[in-house]
């Protein structure tokens, strides 16, 4: 929500529509959890209400915008998700989907940190697999470690490719986090 509000002030229903329309499938428990999250973020002063309106007999809608503290918190949280590999890859997928809210140099640093962390994980896994193989343990008993190793290798390859695209200028987003892009999604019937 902080990332979406960093683009444009909107009310929780608009946020819900944006999440659904852009297929942010990692967001679960909608829409009730969305309203609880908005309340929590407002309580932490990461977002603030800026307007309230009512259309006909519909309930009042409060429009929120992100605060400077909210932007700092978004940047901190997003960099942590990008930098730190975890067994739950959904968090990384979520972070990647929001990477455009970071300045490109920050995204590059975070992705380079992740690549180094994955390289360390792979070195440890490869050493573990060699020791187990040398001990005479049948491969089938370590097949899940091999599976995780392959997933990490694929992720490392992808992260390196994204870093190369960012370094070359092929991939960038200086003008993509714009109000008009969000409006296109929200204003479609």
- 65-78 pLDDT, tens digit per residue, is 999 999 999 999 99
Looking at residue 29, its pLDDT comes to 66
What is the CATH number assigned to the segment(s) 2-81+176-187?
Answer: 1.10.10.10
Tens digits of residue pLDDT in 99-128? 999 999 999 999 999 999 999 999 999 999
pLDDT higher for 163 or 22?
Answer: 163
Looking at residue 181, its pLDDT comes to 46
pLDDT category, 13, cuts 50, 70, 90?
Answer: confident
Nearest Cα residue to 159 out of 83, 104, 103: 83
Q: Chain-wide mean pLDDT for the chain?
A: 88
Looking at residue 187, its pLDDT comes to 54
Quick one: average pLDDT of 139-155? Answer: 94
Looking at residue 53, its pLDDT comes to 87
Residue 88 has pLDDT above 90, yes or no: no
Looking at residue 31, its pLDDT comes to 72
Looking at residue 146, its pLDDT comes to 93
Written in H, E and C, the secondary structure of the chain is CHHHHCCCCECHHHHHHHHHHCCCCCCCCCCHHHHHHHHHHHHCCCEEEEEEECCCCCCCEEEEEECHHHHHHHHHHHHHHHHCCCCCHHHHHHHHHCHHHCCHHHHHHHHHHHHHHHHHHHHHHHHHHHHHHHCCCCHHHHHHHHHHHHHHHHHHHHHHHHHHHHHHCCCCCCCCCCHHHHHHHHHCC
Looking at residue 179, its pLDDT comes to 47
Domain extents for the chain? 2-81+176-187, 83-168
Give me the percent of the chain exceeding a pLDDT of 90. 61
Quick one: average pLDDT of 160-189? Answer: 72
Tens digits of residue pLDDT in 36-75? 889 999 999 999 999 998 888 888 899 999 999 999 999 9
Looking at residue 78, its pLDDT comes to 96
Residue 131 has pLDDT above 90, yes or no: yes
Residues 6+ apart with CB under 8 A from 99: 78, 82, 107, 173
- Paired tokens of 122: 């792979």
**Strand partners for 53:** 61
**Strand partners for 66:** 47
Looking at residue 60, its pLDDT comes to 87
């Amino acid at each position: 929500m902080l990332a979406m509000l960093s683009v444009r002030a909107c009310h929780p229903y608009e946020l819900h529509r944006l999440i659904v329309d852009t297929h942010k499938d990692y967001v679960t428990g909608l829409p009730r959890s969305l309203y609880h999250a908005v309340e929590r973020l407002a309580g932490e002063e990461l977002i603030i209400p800026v307007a309230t309106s009512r259309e006909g007999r519909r309930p009042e809608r409060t429009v929120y915008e992100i605060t400077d503290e909210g932007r700092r918190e978004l940047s901190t949280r997003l960099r942590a998700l990008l930098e730190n590999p975890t067994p739950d890859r959904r968090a990384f997928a979520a972070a990647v989907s929001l990477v455009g809210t970071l300045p490109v140099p920050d995204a590059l640093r975070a992705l380079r940190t992740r690549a180094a962390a994955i390289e360390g994980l792979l070195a440890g896994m490869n050493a573990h697999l060699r020791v187990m193989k040398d001990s005479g343990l049948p491969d089938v008993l370590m097949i899940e470690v091999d599976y995780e190793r392959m997933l990490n290798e694929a992720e490392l390859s992808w992260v390196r490719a994204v870093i190369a695209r960012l370094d070359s200028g092929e991939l960038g987003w200086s003008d993509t986090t714009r109000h008009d892009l969000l409006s296109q999604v929200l204003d479609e019937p």
